[in-house]
Amino acid sequence: LQQRRGLRLSAPAAIQVTVRDALNQALDEELERDERVFLLGEEVAQYDGAYKISRGLWKKYGDKRVIDTPISEMGFTGIAVGAAMVWLRPVCEFMTFNFSMQAIDQVINSAAKTCYMSAGSISVPIVFRGPNGVSAGVAAQHSQCFAAWYGHCPGLKVVSPWSAEDAKGLLKASIRDDNPVVMLESELLYGVPFEMSEQAQSKEFVIPIGKAKIERQGTHVTLVSHSRPVGHCLEAATVLAKEGVECEVINMRTIRPMDIETVEASVIKTNHLVTVEGGWPQFGVGAEICARIMEGSAFNYLDAPAVRVTGADVPMPYAKILEDNCIPQVKDIVFAVKKALNI
């Protein structure tokens, strides 16, 4: 009626959504959309999840769709992989990816390799998800980044969201994918609100796996990161802009398959590259990005060696002051950019 009267209707505005709520929305929408989808893991049902990611889902969908498991990663991961082989779509939550080490035989030898070893006759549509990387004050056995570990393995897809839109769109895409997907979230981002566009509020919103996003345009240096350090890169870019340095910030979003084309195009434009990650330096995600750039045509456009910013090459200490010095900070990124630009 208002349209007939010639009145202009405003579109729904973007809203603020935490990463926790974005993940909860994605799980809710996919459980509703496809009856083959189910969630299992420690405390995911009656307790609403250790991090409240599955809040309300057990009450809504019941025991057969949201399943509490014993504290036995190898056991419930094996159950989930077997279910995926008969075309259910499990979402297997690890309370932390550090504990996925207990189940890595199932993730790699069973889930990742079965499609290849069966000549394509058996697909394994499963999502392994949970918090990855540094946490706060929980020391070495809870604060490792496994992006390089899982990104190393053929047969897996590996995604690593930063924002609420990343979290929702990548989780929905992962659940719908016919391959095993490892989704590495950041516990420290769960409570952080991000702007969510009108498009991302749709139940059909998905982010294609394997496509990076340019979060900030720039001309002097390319900053490439994933997960929580993307925010640090944007903060560093703001600091450097005051000194006349314009950084292009790329959010990888997917570790495997890697969107190296977006990075190459940016390096060709900026002629400088800095990679930033919370994981250890040796054989890391940044090392892979640098190698791929060196092997490709973008290498000829580099005006200086690429620089990596990584976590320290030690098990994570417990003490906060040591912990802060073991993970990349904004000042470390600013220093690396100035080193790359020789300023």
Q: What is the CATH number of the domain that holds 142?
A: 3.40.50.970
Residue-wise pLDDT tens digits, 221-260: 999 999 999 999 999 999 999 999 999 999 999 999 999 9
pLDDT of res. 14:
86
Q: What is the CATH number of the domain that holds 308?
A: 3.40.50.920
- Residue 335: Cβ-neighbour burial (10 angstroms; 0-12, 13-18, 19+): middle
Q: Of these residues, 29, 42, 73, 187, which one is catalytic?
A: 73
Domain region containing 266: 213-341
| 111 & 229 share domain | no
As a whole number, mean pLDDT of residues 290-297 equals 97
Checking if the pLDDT of 9 tops 70, the result is no
Residue-wise pLDDT tens digits, 92-145: 999 999 999 999 999 999 999 999 999 999 999 999 999 999 988 889 989 999
**Residues in the chain, overall count:** 343
Q: Which two tokens stand for residue 289?
A: 């990005």
- Residue 299: Cβ-neighbour burial (10 angstroms; 0-12, 13-18, 19+): middle
Residue 114 C-beta-side C-alpha neighbours within 13 Å: 20
Domain boundary among 126, 161, 196: 196
Bridge partners (DSSP) of residue 92 are 40, 128
Residue-wise pLDDT tens digits, 154-199: 999 999 999 999 999 999 999 999 999 999 999 999 999 999 999 9
pLDDT of res. 2:
47
Q: Are 188 and 51 in contact (CB under 8 A)?
A: no
How far is the C-alpha of 250 from the C-alpha of 94, rounded, in Å? Answer: 28
Q: Which two tokens stand for residue 274?
A: 């800095």
Closest CA to 166 of 134, 205, 139: 205
Is 226 part of the annotated catalytic residue set?
no
| 227 & 276 share domain | yes
| 147 & 289 share domain | no
The DSSP bridge pattern shows strands 193-196 and 15-18 to be antiparallel
Q: Helix 229-241 and helix 330-341: axis angle, to 10°? A: 60
| 297 & 165 share domain | no
- Torsions phi, psi of 207, nearest 5? -110, 125
pLDDT of res. 170:
98
Checking if the pLDDT of 11 tops 80, the result is no
| 178 & 237 share domain | no
The DSSP bridge pattern shows strands 273-276 and 307-309 to be parallel
Residue-wise pLDDT tens digits, 21-71: 999 999 999 999 999 999 999 999 999 999 999 999 999 999 999 999 999
Q: Of these residues, 142, 226, 232, 272, which one is catalytic?
A: 142
